[in-house]
Structure 1
Amino acid sequence: MPFNPTRRHLLTAAGGLGLSFVLPKLAATAQRPATDATFLFSCDVHACLVSADGLSPDCAAEGKTDAALLRHVAAVNAVGGLVWPAVIDGKPSGLASAGAPIAAPLGLVLGGDMTDDGGGQVKVPGEGWQLQQFTSRYQQGTGPDRVHYPVYNGLGNHDLDQDGVAPHIDWYRRELRDYVELNHRSTVFYKAPVPVTNYDLDSDNYSWDWGGLHLIQLQRFGGDDTKGAISGLPWLQQDLAAYAADGRPVVLFQHYGWDHFSTEHWDPAAKTFDPTGAGPAHWWSDEERAALLAALKGYNVAGIFHGHEHPTPMIYNREGYDIFKPIAAFLGGLALVRVTDTFMDVALAKAGENPADLLFTHAFSKRL
């Protein structure tokens, strides 16, 4: 477990064996790469095509259309070159970067539900229309209809929960997991389009670094073992020990959060899932959340980003961790993030009515 010395630790350790313990930690901190990383986070794309021109039921009414995704892509691509907002909704944003030009984002990280129905279900195994639609918008490319930055993929319950038609029960889960692996895991013989440093074959969790910032993608949630998934918590513990023991800031991404929707339970009296239910958890359990937090204990976790709940932008704190959730991508949502050696800025935004318009709605800043 990493040790983060306070001023009192340094003073009391000034003599004897204490100094020999503190100095290596300070040396490791001094050797850390400098950090100034600007990136984007979004979630809940919900690509919805099931044929060349048809959507899954209810998708059009919910706004899960290709036109909505094109509007989101335009806003994402317009970020670089804008200015960090100094005022949001008539009030000072409080951002350390306020008034400064926004650097070209290093990437777009996604927090799950890339597709609406397991990539787009068909009776015979084959590439689903929804995965094709997602790729045509959210795989890095040129032109107005593709994201212009490297995309770091993440899976959610809509990508992984649905069973295929027998006997191909797990085909769609494997299709989505293969897509993530092929985009991010390089081998001796294969160069991934968006290579990462550490990829776990069992859980499809992965991590990478931008300067002195360590970033971790946990897919549906850290420790997921549903629908045949293998928990990535042992990998997460090893990854943090290997790459973040020097106290560098860590940012995590997953689909489920700590909000009321993500943590609801079955309510026998109301016969529905709600935040006050005493029955089984709907999405992930109290025990699963506790296990993830135990794996993070002692590390410098600067923020956790998630999706799952669609219409409500959120900036909140649970168990001492700052947590962020923009509105769904198909509703135009994104988070703009900057992490430096001294501060972290997060601005939540949504696409405007006109192409490339971006409206900032919420802001958060803290010293690191």
Structure 2
Amino acid sequence: MPFKPTRRHLLTAAGGFGLSLALPRLSGFAQTWPATDATFVFSCDVHACLVSADSLSPNCAAEGKTDAALLRHVAAVNAVDGLEWPAEIDGKPSGLAGAGTRIAAPRGLVLGGDMTDDGGGQVKVPGEGRQLQQFSSRYQQGTGPDRVHYPVYNGLGNHDLDQDGASPHRDWYRRELRDYVELNHRSTVFYKAPVPVTNYDIDSDNYSWDWGGLHLVQLQRFGGDDTKGAISGLPWLKDDLATYAGDGRPVVLFQHYGWDRFSTEHWDPAAGTFDPQGAGAAHWWSDAERAGLLAALKGYNVVGIFHGHEHPTPMIYNHEGYDIFKPVAAFLGGLALVRVTDAFLDIALARAGENPADIVFTHAFSKRFSR
């Protein structure tokens, strides 16, 4: 469903006109955290789709969810290192604070859910799903042209978690994907994770980490998710923010669902479908769930929220004072290039070009922080 901006939803013009806002820091805080200058890539909706060595789930080929598409996306993600932040997009000034400067090597690739198309690609009995194998062969850090070259911070969405397995293995799909996230990010006394994080919640699989003075939080499908047997991570989130971001340092959050029209649609009994006009049950997450998450964020210096879920439309918008960003789906070539410093936040939305490693910048956003 196409995204239609309202007064609270501002998508920058196709020419990439950058917003430039001077925002005060939270009152009552003097900066005591480490210096911040972190560049990273965000993407979402990979939808790895293989179900055998050479076949895809139904409709995947028609939708473009092919391995060739993922290779094209991986090439674009790897190519950002060494490029320049765009000074112009489609002939118009980008407004980026770092326009014309070299893009630093990204600290990592953060994913906003739907790593796989069908719960990892499981069939009738427990076993490693083909889709999860395909995903890890492309989006687990490695060398060469077919793997992401940076640490990958995994995030789960509805396509990863909503599948029910065949009895008696109803929850196997979910457990496999959650295990993959935990094994990649949760270290113990006896085990060193490939991409270790600072704070991992075993109950919800939410986790957080820091790059200098920037605090980053992965909330999986959405902060407070308790569907399909999930345990809400909101108590963990409140404790995490109080512990690691109570001094006013900048925070960015990642999850799958957003505040766009598609993510917030409800059942419309007259139309017999889910749509933004419906007054029935929520399709993805409810008004109360969104309110609960925003209440947990109140009082913290959240400088950006990143999500996925809706595939074709790049989004830059604001909801209740929070700046929110969504690139085009990964299988369509989408990514967001992000830099957070003590002085500014720069974001450039982009898509993979027609040739390997080509990148086309489409939209830009920038805001300055007052000192």
- State the TM-score, normalizing by the size of structure 2: 0.92
1:155 equivalenced with 2:156 (yes/no): yes
Q: Structure 2 matches for 1:88-107, cutoff 5 A?
A: 88-107=89-108
Q: Structure 2 matches for 1:157-196, cutoff 5 A?
A: 157-196=158-197
> Matched residues in 1 for 2:98 and 2:253: separation?
22
Q: Structure 2 matches for 1:7-86, cutoff 5 A?
A: 25-26=29-30, 29=31, 31-86=32-87
Alpha-carbon distance, 1:340 to partner: 0.1
Alpha-carbon distance, 1:124 to partner: 1.2
Q: What residue number does 1:304 align with? A: 305
Identity of aligned residues (%): 87
Q: Classify 1:255/1:40 alpha carbon distance in 2 versus 1 (closer, same or farther; 3 Å).
A: same
Q: What residue number does 1:248 align with? A: 249
Q: What amino acid sits opposite 2:52 in the alignment?
A: S
Provide Cα deviations, 1:212-250, integer angstroms capped at 9, x if missing partner.
000000000000000000000000000000000010000
> Matched residues in 2 for 1:278 and 1:170: separation?
31
Partners of 2:26 and 2:301 within 8 A in 1? no
1:220 equivalenced with 2:244 (yes/no): no
Q: What residue number does 2:326 align with? A: 325
SS, match of residue 307 in structure 1: coil
Q: What amino acid sits opposite 1:276 in the alignment?
A: Q
SS, match of residue 356 in structure 2: coil
Alpha-carbon distance, 1:89 to partner: 1.0
> Matched residues in 1 for 2:320 and 2:175: separation?
34
SS, match of residue 350 in structure 2: strand
SS, match of residue 360 in structure 1: strand
> Matched residues in 1 for 2:133 and 2:317: separation?
35
Cα RMSD between the aligned structures?
A: 0.7
Aligned length: 345
Q: What residue number does 1:10 align with? A: none
Partners of 2:164 and 2:170 within 8 A in 1? yes
SS, match of residue 38 in structure 2: strand
Q: What amino acid sits opposite 2:122 in the alignment?
A: Q
Q: Classify 1:71/1:274 alpha carbon distance in 2 versus 1 (closer, same or farther; 3 Å).
A: same
Gaps of at least 5 residues in structure 1 are 7-21
Q: What amino acid sits opposite 1:164 in the alignment?
A: G
SS, match of residue 288 in structure 1: helix
Provide Cα deviations, 1:153-205, integer angstroms capped at 9, x if missing partner.
00000000010011100001000000000000000000000000000000000
Q: Classify 1:5/1:113 alpha carbon distance in 2 versus 1 (closer, same or farther; 3 Å).
A: closer
Alpha-carbon distance, 1:5 to partner: 5.6
Q: Classify 1:314/1:167 alpha carbon distance in 2 versus 1 (closer, same or farther; 3 Å).
A: same
Alpha-carbon distance, 1:367 to partner: 1.0
Q: What amino acid sits opposite 1:146 in the alignment?
A: R
> Matched residues in 2 for 1:5 and 1:308: separation?
31
> Matched residues in 2 for 1:5 and 1:266: separation?
39
Q: What amino acid sits opposite 2:354 in the alignment?
A: E
Alpha-carbon distance, 1:132 to partner: 0.1
Q: What residue number does 1:17 align with? A: none
> Matched residues in 1 for 2:237 and 2:132: separation?
28
Q: What residue number does 1:140 align with? A: 141
SS, match of residue 160 in structure 2: helix
Alpha-carbon distance, 1:122 to partner: 1.5
Q: What residue number does 1:349 align with? A: 350
SS, match of residue 252 in structure 2: strand
SS, match of residue 360 in structure 2: strand
Provide Cα deviations, 1:315-355, integer angstroms capped at 9, x if missing partner.
00001100000000000000000000010000000000000
Q: What residue number does 1:18 align with? A: none
1:208 equivalenced with 2:209 (yes/no): yes
Provide Cα deviations, 1:34-92, integer angstroms capped at 9, x if missing partner.
00000000000000000010100000000000000000000000000000000001100
> Matched residues in 1 for 2:280 and 2:254: separation?
27
Q: What amino acid sits opposite 1:135 in the alignment?
A: S
> Matched residues in 2 for 1:268 and 1:121: separation?
33
SS, match of residue 330 in structure 1: helix
SS, match of residue 54 in structure 2: coil
Partners of 2:267 and 2:281 within 8 A in 1? yes
Q: What residue number does 2:336 align with? A: 335
> Matched residues in 2 for 1:273 and 1:353: separation?
35
Q: What residue number does 1:9 align with? A: none
Provide Cα deviations, 1:75-124, integer angstroms capped at 9, x if missing partner.
00000000000000110000001000000000000000000000002111
Q: What amino acid sits opposite 1:117 in the alignment?
A: D
> Matched residues in 2 for 1:364 and 1:137: separation?
29
Q: What amino acid sits opposite 2:207 in the alignment?
A: Y
SS, match of residue 308 in structure 1: coil
Alpha-carbon distance, 1:137 to partner: 0.1
> Matched residues in 2 for 1:127 and 1:365: separation?
42
